[in-house]
Structure formats: C-alpha cells, structure tokens
C-alpha cells in the first residue's frame, strides 16, 4: 500500500465495534499505509472535514488492546444516508475532494445495513467517475440482521451480556419467592429481528432454570394466549420469567407497547409517551392475574457492556476489520467482509468477501422453524447457532477498580 | 464448638451476600460444628421448618468459591419482622423449639436493619428464658445505611457495577453527539440514603468525563434549579449525564416521580402507575429544553451483578461471615459484626463486634458536608471513602460462556 487509509463508524454502537477499528488500524499499518485516518462521526463528520490521525491516539500495543475493550464508537458515529447518485452529486464531489486531498487509497466503513448502502454508492460513484479509491464495508450490529454473513460482530457480546444478566435477574427474583408469586418481564432490543431476544434461552443450564417464555417480533403476539401461558405456569411455579423483544406486535401490526387502547399515556407535560412493552405487559398481568410483576429493561447497556464482551466476538470483530483492509488493498471495492462459519464443533470461522450490491438493506430475520410452533420459545437449532458466539472472555484492563477505555479527547 | 450452626439470609439481595454465607459455613466447619444448617427464606421459612444441611450443597472447595460468586440469596430471603416479645410469645417458642430440636448453638443472620432487629429480639428472648443459643448478625445491604459499621458488604460491588455501567452509558451517549444534544438521566437505587447514587462520581477519570450532576435524597430537589443547571451545561457541551437517586424528593417531601400534578399516570387498565423519577425528569427536560433525552434504570442488576463484584467486597463479606461464627462460638450474643476501616492508604479493614441494641433501625445517611453546597455533586471526601471498596476482581468461573453459580434445587 502506498497511500492512506480512512475508516469510519456508523449506526448504533456495539461492545466490539472498536475491535474492528483496531483491526483496521493494525492491518493498515502492517500493510504499509502511511497514515490511517479516522472520520469523526462517520461520513457526516467527514463532510465537515472532521477526522483524526489514529496514530495520535493508538500509540502502542497496549492502546490496541484497550481499544479492543472500549465500547461504543471510539470515533463517534452517525445515522446519515447518502442521497441517490442521480439526486445530488455535490455531496459525492465533496467527499472525493476530501479523499483526494488526504491521499486515501482505502475507505473502510464499519456499520450495518445503512453503512453498506454508503459503501455501495461510493464505490459506484468511484467507478462512474474513474476515482481510484476502494470502498469496503465491515459488518457490525447487535441485531444480527445482516444477510449473507453467518452473524454480525457485536451480536455475540450482546448475547453474552443478556444471558449473564438474565441469570442474575432470575436469581434476584427467585430469592424472594417464598409464599409469593412474581412475574418478571424482560425487554430486549430488536424492532424486527428477534435474534437478541432469542439469546435469553442461553441463560438456562445446570445452574439456572432459565426463562419460561420467549417472544420474538417474527411471530404475532396474542395478549390472551400470553396471559393463559402465564396463568398455567403460575399453577406449577411461583416465579415466571418472560423475555420479549421491544418490537413484538399484535396480529394487526400494532406494537404491544401501543396496545392499551390509550396508545401509551400522556404525561404531566401533555406529551404522549410510549411505555415499553415490558411495562405494559407487567401491568396487564398484574391486572389480570393479581400477582406481583416486575419489568426489566437492559437499555443501552446491552450494546455497550464491553466488560462482558465475548472473546470470540472481539476476535472476529478484529479479524473482519483487518480483512477489509486486505481486500481493499488487493483491489476489492463495493464489497463487505462477512463471517463464514467453517465448523460448529469445534467452532471455527473465517472471513469472506461479498458484493455489497447483494447485501444492502436486506433484513435477516429468525427463521420461523427456529421458533417453536406456539411462538413461545426458540428451538435447539437456534441455541446451537448462538452458543459458540458467547464463548471466552477478554479480561478488562482494570485501573483503580474500573475497566479502562481508550478515550478520544 | 460442640453443637450446630444455623444461618439465614434476609432482606434485599446483594452480589456478595453468599460470600458471607460461605464465610459462615467455612468457619463453622473449621471450628468443629457438627452440622451447618441453612434456613430457607430466612426466619419465615424456618418457622415452617424449611431448612437444609449446607454440606449437601457445598461439597468441596470449588463449591465455596462458586458460592462466593453467586448473586442474590442462595438460601432464599424474606422480609419478615418478628413481633415484640410482649405481643406474641408463641412465635418465639416455636423458633426455640426448632433450634433445640436441631441442637443449634449459634444462630447467624445475614441482613440489614430489620435483620439486626431479629437478632436483638431473639437474643433478648434467649436471655429472658434462659436459652443457651447465641445470636449474631452479619451486615448486608447495597444501601450502606447501617450505622456503626464503616460500610456494609454488598455496597462496594453495587458501586463497582454502577460506575462501570455509567462509563459504558456515557460512551454510548457520546458516540451519537454530533450536531445533537442529549440529556441522559440515570436512576439509581436508594429511597432515603444516597450512598449508591454518589458512587456515580467514580465513573469520572482519565478516560471518562463522568456524570455532570448527582442528586441524592439527602438534599431537597428543586425542579427549576435542576432545569437551569442542565440549560447552562448544554451551552458548553452537547451531552449531559445526570445521576439521581430513586428517592429524590421535593422540598415538600413529594417524590419527584409523583411531582407531575397527575402523580404518575393511569394506565390502560385503570391502574395508577408511578413512572420512575428518571422518566419523569427526562420528559420534563425534553419539554422545557426541547433536546433529546434518555432515561436509564439499572433495575435489580445493581444489587445482583456478581459478575462485576469487587474483590474487597467479596473478601470482606466472607470475613464478616466468619467473624460472626467466631463471636457466637466465643459466647457473644445480641451482637453484629461490623467492618472497621483500619487504614485508608493502603486500604485495610478489620472486623469488630457491636451490641445490636445500639444498631437496629438507625438509618445512616450521607453527611451533608459530603455533598456540595448546591446539592449537585459529592465531595472528594465521599469519593475517597468509596473508591477503596470497588478495588479488585474475582474472575467469574465461566462455564460455556456464562458465569457459573451455585444452585439450590
């Protein structure tokens, strides 16, 4: 490589998105890149000429290790969709002007479906106008909804956080169960794809009874059938744990969080608020069955808890970052690096490269036959698919009692 | 020791309450106890003769280690207050009948203020009636609101979880901050004592700007002053992070969560619901200042996340458990073991024994002079007090990608 590399991060953060960044940086340096630039806040910041020289922040091997363990986008992220090429060429001209000025040879973008759309458009535009830069995407999303890749970096660590936290929530709930009934509803991220929620099944094992019910957005949710399931469970056990996707919808497409006739509630300021689905269902079960209920949301921690990241996930994220630089350096453009599962037992994976025109904006859902017939749990096939992705740990670099992160001031 | 020991757990769980249980078990065996019984669900279960022989579950040194890393009450817990002795002697007679039957010499109860009340009443009753059993309490609460002890086991680990999670939440929020404003309100447990919320200050360091504002229940909360603080901060930074105790109250004593005139909202089932204080304030700031807001609650994880327990805390919890057995075996009764801070730097602690009549039902609050004048942050004295308690880790025993717990079937 003779020129420079620029890398950006886009979309929702994950616990390992910076491990991909570290992989890009390391491979770019190894392959002789002169400079490795980082876009601040993705393509949106780049358009304002916001970028940094990553060597100013990643100064040694320890920094690389800490970057791998730093959650959320080190460079900052954005949600910015490029216009179609025929709609507005000015923005493209602006981008290529900056890339030329920085002597960029490889443009690497770490993100989800929208980011792959950016890679597609920029590589198309480069071909159209004869620009020499190569554009390669690195997959990233906790939602695991990208097509063609076996799974996405970020997904495994989110699963590990969710399964670990659910084990702790179940412990907490069961501790108080004497002569009492308690129904706990745990809400997990995922508007359309239930991959993360399905990972709740991993909590079950020799030392934990696990959750009793799992509801994914892939199957229409029935309030009455749900109430009956819980009622039946309470006849044989005192605590019931339910995992739901934030995106579960009724048969008519209404989100469960909007199901209450009132469609949420109007707060003291006159604003319509959506209570979460878990809050809604907890309230409903309390009303219908009279037992105590509890709603738990994991909020942004499920995508940012790098202190519980999986070793498989951090390593794969690093690997796809490096593979993207290699592909671009070898002349690939308009491509996304994917993870291929080479073997299940022992688990092995390798990178592949796919044409991004085949990938962009395709949402991969949980197959219906990986969910049981009633739509109340995932199958063993689902569990066998996810389990390898949560294996192993990267011990945090602890400083003064807390995990150390790499910080871009 | 010639007879047997019985141990129970009571009140809200912590990440290290089982480390105290492990300490009780180990020291009881070491001092020659024939049997170590565990009450199922505290004194409430004991009254129904629900107990186990702990040797059936803790079979080797590895089990002891796993028990130390198992969150929430291994034996189950209860919230049960004994009647005053003059009100109802039957319940006392029943308890002593069971203790006699089991040949109990030492009765150890791990819990908070209410549990120390139980120790007091049982030891008083034993003296009154000439029963030979000794009763000693082991402190436990994430709230750190017990008097006479420097701090309570469980508090340090909750602080470590909160500070770590806040670092991750701040990362997540800052990643998206380009050309946007975001105010995040983080709600932390604590109805009356702000110890845990104050631990939010630990997030600040070389690699994290920390939270901007901290509000404890010890100081009356002013909605207008709060809005002004946030408004001023947004003039100089795009993201603002605020930590609040669930128990913050207005000057007239109203909980902030009830402040909205409407006192919460009525849900679709006609139930009055209290939204959390964080939800209320996030909605208020969005309404007043127009910026995006986010509310985060750590829910039960802050008291059950043993995967992030502090080494100091697990070790001290184990130590106080053992010290309680030693005290009882040496003839103490009606006592609670406490932690004395021997030295700050290097941090050292030792156990002491106090008369439980001095302790019970006294709530220890954060001193006013450990909170700044405006009531918007804690002082360095507070931080210096808490920091040693989050140091060090106990690596989880990971099995198939998840922390292993000891399980009482």
Please judge whether B267 and A275 are an interchain contact, meaning their C-beta atoms are less than 8 angstroms apart: yes
CB B135 within 8 A of CB B122: yes
Longest dimension (CA), chain B: 74
Do B339 and B351 contact (CB within 8 A), yes or no? yes
Contacts for A260-267: CB closer than 8 Å, 24+ residues apart: A260/A284, A260/B267, A260/B268, A260/B269, A261/B268, A262/B267, A262/B268, A265/B265, A265/B266, A265/B267, A265/B273, A266/B265, A267/B260, A267/B262, A267/B265, A267/B275, A267/B280, A267/B283
Instruction: For residue A350, give the H/E element and its range.
Output: strand A347-355
The answer to whether the peptide bond before residue B335 is cis (omega within 30 degrees of 0) is: no
Distance from CA of B319 to the nearest CA of A (A): 20
Dihedral angle of Cα A205, A210, A216, A221, to the nearest 10 degrees: 150
Q: Which residues of B touch A310 (CB under 8 A)?
A: 401
H/E stretch holding A399 reads: strand A398-399
pLDDT confidence bin for A257, thresholds 50/70/90 = confident
CB contact under 8 A, A208 and B286: no
Residue B130 CB neighbours (<10 A): 6
Contact B13 A306 (CB under 8 A): no
What are the E-state strand segments in B112-222?
134-139, 182-188, 213-215
Query: Tokens for A168?
Result: 């702790």
Give A136-149 pLDDT, tens digit per residue. 999 999 999 998 89
Cβ contact (<8 Å) for B169 and A390? no
Concatenated DSSP letters of A268-329? TTS-EE---HHHHHHHHHHHHH--EEEEEE-TTHHHH-GGG-BHHHHHHHHHHHHHHHHHHH
Nearest to A75 by CA among A137, A21, A150, A149: A21
How high is the pLDDT of residue B263? Answer: 44
Q: Please count the residue pairs, one from chain A and one from chain B, whose beta carbons lie less than 8 angstroms apart.
A: 229
pLDDT of residue A265: 55
Asked about B143 being catalytic, the answer comes back as: yes
For the CA atoms of chain B, what is the radius of gyration? 23
Query: Which is the catalytic residue, given B88, B114, B124, B143?
Result: B143
Asked if B400 lies within 8 A of A392 by C-beta distance, the reply is: no
Please determine, for residue A198, whether its predicted confidence score (pLDDT) is greater than 60: yes
- Is the pLDDT at A274 greater than 70? The verdict is no
**Which of B401, B403, B407 to mutate: most A Cβ within 10 Å?**
B401
Q: Do B167 and A299 touch (CB under 8 A)?
A: no
The span from the CA of B139 to the CA of B116, in Å, is 8
Of B172, B283, B287, the CB nearest to A300: B172
Best of A12, A268, A387 to disrupt the B interface (most B CBs within 10 Å) is: A268
Give the residue-averaged pLDDT of A341-353.
96
| Average pLDDT, integer, range A10-26 | 97
Express each pLDDT in A206-237 by its tens digit. Answer: 999 999 999 999 999 999 999 999 999 999 99
State the pLDDT at residue A186. 97
**Nearest residue on chain B to A208, alpha-carbon basis:** B407
pLDDT in tens, chain B (409 residues): 999 999 999 999 999 999 999 999 999 999 999 999 999 999 999 999 999 999 999 999 999 999 999 999 999 999 999 999 999 999 999 999 999 999 999 999 999 988 999 999 999 999 999 999 999 999 999 999 998 899 999 999 999 999 999 999 999 999 988 889 999 999 999 999 999 999 999 999 999 999 999 999 999 999 999 999 999 999 999 999 999 999 999 999 999 988 764 445 566 666 656 568 998 999 999 999 999 999 999 888 999 999 999 999 999 999 999 999 999 999 999 999 999 999 998 999 999 999 998 875 678 999 999 999 999 999 999 999 999 999 999 999 999 999 999 999 8
Instruction: At B47, list the tokens.
Output: 């009254």
How many angstroms separate the first and last alpha carbons of chain A?
Answer: 29
Nearest to B4 by CA among B178, B114, B132: B132
Which residues, at least 6 apart from B274, have a Cβ–Cβ distance to it below 8 Å? B255, B257, B258, B263, B264
CA distance linking residue A52 with residue A76, whole number of Å: 11
pLDDT tens per residue across span A62-88 = 999 999 999 999 999 999 999 999 999
Distance from CA of A163 to the nearest CA of B (A): 7
Q: Tell me, what's the pLDDT at A367?
A: 98
pLDDT, residue B262, reads: 46
Window 185-224 of B: residues touching A by CB (8 A cutoff) are 202-203, 205-208
Across the interface, of A9, A177, A297, the residue whose CB is closest to B76 is A177
CB contact residues (below 8 A), chain B span 277-306, against chain A = 279-280, 283-284, 286-287, 294, 296-297, 299-301, 303-306
On the question of pLDDT at A263 being above 50, the answer is no
Contact A223, A379 (CB under 8 A): no
Burial A192-220 (b: 16+ CB within 10 A, else e): ebbbbbbbbbbbbbebbebbbbbbbbbbe
Position with higher pLDDT, A368 vs B260: A368
Rg (CA), chain A: 23
CB A280 within 8 A of CB A288: no
- Interface touch A268/B280, C-beta < 8 Å: yes
Q: CA B222, CA B166: separation in Å to the nearest integer?
A: 24
Token pair of A330 as six digits: 């070898």
- Rounded to the nearest 10°, the torsion over CA B191, B196, B200, B203 is -160
**Paired tokens of B142:** 């994430």
Q: What is the mean pLDDT of chain A?
A: 94
Alpha carbon separation from B298 to B15, B64, B185, B188, B259 (Å, rounded)? 14, 28, 11, 7, 22
A402 → closest Cβ in B169, B202, B286: B202
Yes or no, beta carbons of A405 and B260 under 8 Å apart: no
Closest residue on chain B to A11 (Cα): B176
Cα–Cα distance for residue pair B331/B358, rounded to 1 Å: 19
Q: Which chain A residues in 354-383 lie under 8 Å from chain B, judged by CB atoms? A: none
Is residue B10 within 8 Å of B77, Cβ to Cβ?
yes
> Which residues are CB-neighbours of B355 under 8 A, at least 6 positions away?
B334, B335
- The verdict on a CB contact (< 8 Å) between B402 and A163 is yes
Could you report the predicted ipTM of this complex, rounded to two decimals? 0.95
Beta bridge partners of B347: B344
pTM over 0.90, yes/no? yes
pLDDT band at A361 (very low <50, low <70, confident <90, very high): low
- pLDDT one-digit tens code per residue, A179-192: 899 999 999 999 99
Closest CA to B402 of A281, A389, A401: A389
The pLDDT of residue B273 is 60
Q: Token digits for A9?
A: 């991060």
Q: Is the peptide bond before B346 cis (omega within 30 degrees of 0)?
A: yes
3-state secondary structure of A147: coil
Q: Which of A117, A143, A145, A313 is catalytic?
A: A143
């Amino acid at each position: 490589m003779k020129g420079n590399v620029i890398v950006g991060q886009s979309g929702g953060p994950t616990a390992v998105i910076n491990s991909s960044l570290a992989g890009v940086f390391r491979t770019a340096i190894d392959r002789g890149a002169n400079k490795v630039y980082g876009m601040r806040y993705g393509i949106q910041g780049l358009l304002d000429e916001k970028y940094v020289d990553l060597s100013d922040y990643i100064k040694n091997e320890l920094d690389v290790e800490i970057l791998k363990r730093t959650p959320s986008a080190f460079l900052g992220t954005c949600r910015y969709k490029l216009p179609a090429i025929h709609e507005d060429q000015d923005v493209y001209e602006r981008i290529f002007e900056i890339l030329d000025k920085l002597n960029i040879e490889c443009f690497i973008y770490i993100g989800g479906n929208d980011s792959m759309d950016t890679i597609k458009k920029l590589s198309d535009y480069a071909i159209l106008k004869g620009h020499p830069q190569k554009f390669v995407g690195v997959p990233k999303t906790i939602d695991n909804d990208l097509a063609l890749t076996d799974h996405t970096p970020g997904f495994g660590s989110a699963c590990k956080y969710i399964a670990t936290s659910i084990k702790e929530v179940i412990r907490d709930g069961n501790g108080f169960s004497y002569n009492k009934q308690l129904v706990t509803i745990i809400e997990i991220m995922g508007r359309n794809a239930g991959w993360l929620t399905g990972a709740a099944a991993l909590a079950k094992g020799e030392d934990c009874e696990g959750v009793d019910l799992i509801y994914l957005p892939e199957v229409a949710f029935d309030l009455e059938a749900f109430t009956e399931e819980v009622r039946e469970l309470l006849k044989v056990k005192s605590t019931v744990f339910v995992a739901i996707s934030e995106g579960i919808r009724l048969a008519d497409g209404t989100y469960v969080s909007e199901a209450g006739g009132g469609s949420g509630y109007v707060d003291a300021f006159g604003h319509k608020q959506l209570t979460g689905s878990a809050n809604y269902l907890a309230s409903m079960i309390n009303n219908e069955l009279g037992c105590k209920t509890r709603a738990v949301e994991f909020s942004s921690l499920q995508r940012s808890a790098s202190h519980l990241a999986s070793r498989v996930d951090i390593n794969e994220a690093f690997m796809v970052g490096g593979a993207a630089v290699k592909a671009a350096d070898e002349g690939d453009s308009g491509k996304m690096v994917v993870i291929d599962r080479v073997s299940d037992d022992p688990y092995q994976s390798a990178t592949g490269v796919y044409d991004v025109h085949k990938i962009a904006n395709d949402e991969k859902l949980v197959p219906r036959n990986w969910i049981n017939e009633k739509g109340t749990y995932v199958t063993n096939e689902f569990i066998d698919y996810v389990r390898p992705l949560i294996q192993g740990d990267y011990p945090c670099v602890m400083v003064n009692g807390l995990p150390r992160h790499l910080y871009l001031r």
